[in-house]
Structure 1
């Protein structure tokens, strides 16, 4: 295929065929005649050297080659629409698009449920995607357009990245209610240092590190804990603790959110740990992108509600 000679209007027809599965419905969607859509499909087949669709009953089914184009084509057309749309015309209720949030699965529990509810009510055609937060690759994900924002602990950033403080995240200790190591300890009280250091821990670490902020705090008071396991997702931490005699140090907001569902006791840690400041970051090139600006404001407002002082 010679891209330089391809009629880009054909890509809109291809997108409509993906969405509708019918030349008749695609024609209605595009305000074209069915014959014009069929003609465009023939030109696409010739240009791309593939049938693109086969008929199955009353529906057109994408070939394997065409199916591989579908998601990328939708996304690129959305980006073009956002690029060309005047900022003054952005209306959440009718806007279409995808917004990617790079963050740990902590935010699957704390952000995505209220964000889903908000979008259903205010912007039903916008999609939010929570994508993996790759360790030490936060900024690169913005640069490569793999994410629209990243939700991360505070750090030094290049000057082309904008940041907004969202909330402080203290830490709490979780243990299952039947854990013999916490018998006699009252839920919500401070766990004794000897208990904390004697019990085995499961540690959140996407990189597989065996130490984190809690270990630095312990070192300052001349103590060590026993890390028996590392897990790259918080959901795995909570599950491991709920089904074993392991304990874990996790963000307070998460502990309070999942304690009932997982049957957990929640305790204050025995040492002082500076609460982590969680920030939202984004590339300055999207400062004035209407959809991105609106979505940032919604996400950030929800996240600021997690601050213990709010």
Structure 2
């Protein structure tokens, strides 16, 4: 038998013949004509190399070969039906699964704590995983199923990726409380340009780049800054600032979140920096996945709450 050329509809006919022992009754079950069922049986006999059924009185009796197929065939058809049947209404309280979020460690501070609380109360059997956001690999991670969503700055995307704008993130300057370079400044003030350019900076950059959005803004006004180090995670940036006289430009929401725990002062930057628009992206193939859809709504709702006047 060449399975690649077998018409799988014939297996439904075979199952109906097992159940009913009659081409007439099988035709009724399948809403087919008796001649169509008889024709299907003839093709099955040819494909499988066996008579399959012998007429005994007014009933078809399975051959030994066919009888050996009956239970397994029914099990496989039921499994296939279950595979192709759309799931029942999604209930987060009973749903089980894993949802992977590709994002920087910014979201370990801003997303994962409230998401953990939400899942514990509303979906206790769903596991959320924050996975590394590999630079320049955002879209590929969705394609390879390494992530269910990615939280990234806005950029051009292929047509098979969906996007949802989440929040705009301005930038603030952070310095440790007691940094002598900012001793004359009060928390929340605009940092003077000469102070900003004189102090050494730690820069968030997973790739190790020595320039970022802040440098483009400085270039527009004919200024530059001194980058002393780069760190691939925001937590490392904040830690370096808190234990040195370095300063850093970080997303305003993050600065507000960690200022107390890291004992940081937060200042407005001296130049205008366009806020970064953060978006959520996902593969269109999961548009109708009930758990993925529910999780996207929860994550995106938590993230849009960050779009406030900071």
Q: TM-score range by the shorter chain?
A: 0.7 to 0.9
Within 1, Cα distance between the matches of 2:140 and 2:251?
Answer: 25
Tell me by how many angstroms 1:308 deviates. Answer: 1.6
Tell me by how many angstroms 1:89 deviates. Answer: 2.5
Equivalent residue runs for 1:84-233 within 5 Å: 86-233=86-233
Within 1, Cα distance between the matches of 2:83 and 2:145?
Answer: 14
Change (3 A) 1:90 1:189: same
TM-score by length of 1: 0.73
Change (3 A) 1:84 1:179: farther
Within 1, Cα distance between the matches of 2:123 and 2:85?
Answer: 17
Query: Is the 1:177–1:263 contact (alpha carbons within 8 Å) kept by the matching residues of 2?
Result: yes
Q: Which residue of 2 aligns with 1:237?
A: 237
Tell me by how many angstroms 1:83 deviates. Answer: 6.6
Within 1, Cα distance between the matches of 2:198 and 2:309?
Answer: 33
Within 2, Cα distance between the matches of 1:116 and 1:284?
Answer: 26
Within 1, Cα distance between the matches of 2:86 and 2:251?
Answer: 41
Query: Is the 1:206–1:233 contact (alpha carbons within 8 Å) kept by the matching residues of 2?
Result: yes
Tell me by how many angstroms 1:309 deviates. Answer: 4.6
Q: Which residue of 2 aligns with 1:302?
A: 302
Residues 273-304 of structure 1: per-residue CA shift (max 9 Å, x gap): 00000000000000000000000000000000
Within 2, Cα distance between the matches of 1:85 and 1:274?
Answer: 48
Change (3 A) 1:257 1:84: farther
Equivalent residue runs for 1:60-75 within 5 Å: none
Deviating beyond 2 angstroms after TM superposition, the runs of 4 or more aligned structure 1 residues are 82-89
Q: Which SS does the other structure have where 2:219 is aligned?
A: helix
Tell me by how many angstroms 1:90 deviates. Answer: 1.4
Within 1, Cα distance between the matches of 2:84 and 2:241?
Answer: 50
CA-based RMSD: 1.5
Q: Which SS does the other structure have where 2:136 is aligned?
A: coil
Q: Which SS does the other structure have where 2:210 is aligned?
A: coil
Q: Which SS does the other structure have where 2:94 is aligned?
A: coil
Query: Is the 1:83–1:289 contact (alpha carbons within 8 Å) kept by the matching residues of 2?
Result: no
Q: Which residue of 1 aligns with 2:28?
A: none
Change (3 A) 1:84 1:184: farther
Within 2, Cα distance between the matches of 1:309 and 1:94?
Answer: 38
Tell me by how many angstroms 1:269 deviates. Answer: 0.1
Change (3 A) 1:176 1:85: farther
Query: Is the 1:102–1:132 contact (alpha carbons within 8 Å) kept by the matching residues of 2?
Result: yes
Q: Which residue of 2 aligns with 1:279?
A: 279
Q: Which runs of 5+ in 2 are unaligned?
A: 1-79
Residues 209-242 of structure 1: per-residue CA shift (max 9 Å, x gap): 0000000000000000000000000000000000
Look at both structures and tell me which one has the larger radius of gyration over its CA atoms: 2
Residues 19-54 of structure 1: per-residue CA shift (max 9 Å, x gap): xxxxxxxxxxxxxxxxxxxxxxxxxxxxxxxxxxxx
Q: Which residue of 1 aligns with 2:268?
A: 268
Q: Which residue of 2 aligns with 1:40?
A: none
Query: Is the 1:200–1:246 contact (alpha carbons within 8 Å) kept by the matching residues of 2?
Result: yes
Within 2, Cα distance between the matches of 1:117 and 1:233?
Answer: 24
